[in-house]
Structure 1
Amino acid sequence: MACETWEVWGTEASVVVTEPAALTAASALVRQVLQSVDEACSRFRSDSELMRLRAPLARGTEVSQTLALLVRQAVRAAKWTGGDVDPTLGNNLLALGYDRDLRSIDPIARRSPAEPAAAGAAPHLPGWKRLRLDGTWLQVPADLLLDLGATAKAVAADLAAAKVFEALDCGVLVSLGGDLASAGPCPDGGWQVLVQDTGADPAQQVSLAPGCAMATSSTRKRRWQYAGREMHHILDPRFGQPAEAVWRSATVASRSCLRANAFSTAAIVRGYAAVGWLESRKLAARLVDRNGNVVVTGGWPQPAYQPAGESAHG
């Protein structure tokens, strides 16, 4: 096997292939996919298709195949989760100070515009149900701003893994932060993955079967201070506010990274109710609560605890 790692979108990207001779070509293919996704939907670059077309989108306009796919997959995630994952929360994130890459946001925000709505604010009308997408014709109401960050990263992992396998005919594991997708044959014993959100969290090494995917959603990463409050990036769509941090992290394994990401994000939003909900869908998941206790569902292997920070890298 061979691996290459680099930084993208404020997180770590890596590609692992079963044939070392294919690594350079595989890395180039993954980077092409990431660039295409970034150019289509980044909220943080004025030249992305999403931001350039913001005014025309309010009336409805033709968009690229890539942007149409990313929106279509985001709507699928919303449907799977009953709206817990909503791709139309861009304006809510702006109102909470998440208006640029988090690497550029001061740990303690110096700007204090209008106070964000209180946690008990009136519920929002689901924005994702107001989107209109027909082929590559897309309409986004003027009062909404798409934020495709989480689902787009998962889609990118799925697309990149599939593209590498199709082009190079080797086994591949693509990792984008907490989103992993695989394609083709895997090493003996499966892809060995260390599941650990931060160094302070319990670690567990698991085996990922070929063609499967995994995603971790976290309330401990992508945090910032704004208007005297500590924020994280996973919002409860009902209120447009950060979800209560019942779980430090939620990890889900599924047949696609998009699906795994949708349900891991929704688990954070659902809080305590996530356990029964994931069980009812027979989803293999690992939830770490605010005290570091681990709850597993759907056949996820029971953890053999390791002290935080100990080895077992995949």
Structure 2
Amino acid sequence: MNRRRFLTISAAFAATPAFARPPLREIRGQAMGARVSLLLAHPEAEAVAGRALAEIARLEAIFSLYRDSALVRLNRDGVLGAPPFELLDCLALCSRVHEATEGLFDPTVQPLWALHAATHSAGRPPSAAELAAARDLTGWRDVVLDEAAVQLGRPGMALTLNGIAQGYIADRIGDRLRAEGMTDVLVDTGELRALGGRPGGGDWPVTLAEGQGTLSLRDRALASSAPRGTVFDVEGKAGHILDPRTGHPAEAPWRLVSVTGPSAALADAASTAFCLMDRPQIEAALARMPELRLAALA
């Protein structure tokens, strides 16, 4: 995850005016296997950030695939009773992006992801028969959710929220800080959520990877995906974003897809799915999610 993060976005910390008072602070933590940071100027910056980092840890205990999280229990048991609100909220956003991308954003690809990870670790790609068996365990239509339970329709199905959870966490932290009266904060979970602009004036300047220049953020989110930002194989050819139609890694020509919007979660999920699309398909999906904008396509 760290490689994916550094290949996509880096916030221009040094560009913040030196005259900002209180001084701008960058306070770091960890979430979903990646470094997170908060950029803020506040007389109680440590305490504010401490509460935010504690909330990030709570959310990670819902979305992580590597802890005894709500998501892990759902994947293990096939059903999760009394699901946390945040899980239901995130899955509802998944449904929206799944529909807007005509099924290309599909969190049920986790069996395919596990297959690629296992076979490439053994030094080979998955066979056609293995891919077919794993694809039989996918299908968003077979995920049933309401306030009582989330249920996976067939034994062996599993979800991954790695294409949306970092953005979702950025949104939740941004909302929490705004509720505390905070303004002019940049939340960086690997995806960015800006509250206001830089302390002292101006927007938050952001540098995009792949030589795609810079842009400014104010009260907006930015998310990026790179098909080969993380890879399964030592040759660096089998990227981590999988096509649910074929089970294979993304074959679109893009090195980087960046999306802005009011929600980091929506931008995160959309940028993931756009890695599987050509330009006309991306434009059609954006027409179904008009609050989003394409920031970079390289």
TM-score class, shorter: 0.7 to 0.9
How does 1:79-90 map onto structure 2 within 5 Å?
79-90=99-110
How does 1:30-69 map onto structure 2 within 5 Å?
30-45=52-67, 47-58=68-79, 61-69=81-89
Confirm or deny: 8 A CA contact 2:32 2:166 kept in the other structure: no
TM-score by length of 2: 0.78
Closer, same or farther in 2 for the Cα pair 1:20/1:78, shift >3 Å?
Answer: same
Residue 115 in structure 1 maps to residue 127 in structure 2: yes
TM-score by length of 1: 0.75
Closer, same or farther in 2 for the Cα pair 1:66/1:172, shift >3 Å?
Answer: same
Confirm or deny: 8 A CA contact 1:161 1:174 kept in the other structure: yes
Residue 128 in structure 1 maps to residue 174 in structure 2: no
Report which structure shows greater RCO (CA 8 Å, sep ≥6). Answer: 2
Q: Of 131, 135, 138, which aligns to 2:150?
A: 138
| Letter matched to residue 239 of structure 2 | H
How much has 1:174 moved relative to structure 2?
A: 0.6
Encode CA deviations 1:285-304: one digit per residue, 9 max, x unaligned.
Answer: 13443xxxxxxxxxxxxxxx
Encode CA deviations 1:48-106: one digit per residue, 9 max, x unaligned.
Answer: 22223445434x6322223323322322322232222111111110111169xxxxxxx
Partner SS state of residue 30, structure 1: helix
Q: 2 CA distance for matches of 1:263 and 1:156?
A: 16
Partner SS state of residue 66, structure 2: coil
Closer, same or farther in 2 for the Cα pair 1:230/1:117, shift >3 Å?
Answer: farther
Partner SS state of residue 206, structure 2: strand
Closer, same or farther in 2 for the Cα pair 1:114/1:180, shift >3 Å?
Answer: closer
Q: 2 CA distance for matches of 1:134 and 1:219?
A: 32
Counterpart of 1:232? 239
Residue 152 in structure 1 maps to residue 165 in structure 2: yes
Q: Of 156, 174, 188, which aligns to 1:161?
A: 174
User: Which is worse superposed, 21-30 or 88-97?
Assistant: 21-30
Higher share in helix: 2
How much has 1:216 moved relative to structure 2?
A: 0.4
Residue 26 in structure 1 maps to residue 48 in structure 2: yes
Residue 174 in structure 1 maps to residue 181 in structure 2: no
Q: Share of identical aligned residues, percent? A: 26
Higher share in strand: 1
Closer, same or farther in 2 for the Cα pair 1:170/1:33, shift >3 Å?
Answer: same
Indicate the RMSD between aligned Cα atoms, in angstroms: 3.1
Residue 11 in structure 1 maps to residue 34 in structure 2: yes
Encode CA deviations 1:212-270: one digit per residue, 9 max, x unaligned.
Answer: 111001123111217x8832221112122211141001001111111211221121111
Closer, same or farther in 2 for the Cα pair 1:98/1:11, shift >3 Å?
Answer: farther
The unaligned stretches of length 5 or more in structure 1 are 100-107, 290-314
How many residues matched?
A: 271
Partner SS state of residue 117, structure 2: coil
The unaligned stretches of length 5 or more in structure 2 are 1-23
| Letter matched to residue 11 of structure 1 | A
Q: 1 CA distance for matches of 2:118 and 2:59?
A: 20
Counterpart of 1:207? 216
Partner SS state of residue 78, structure 2: helix
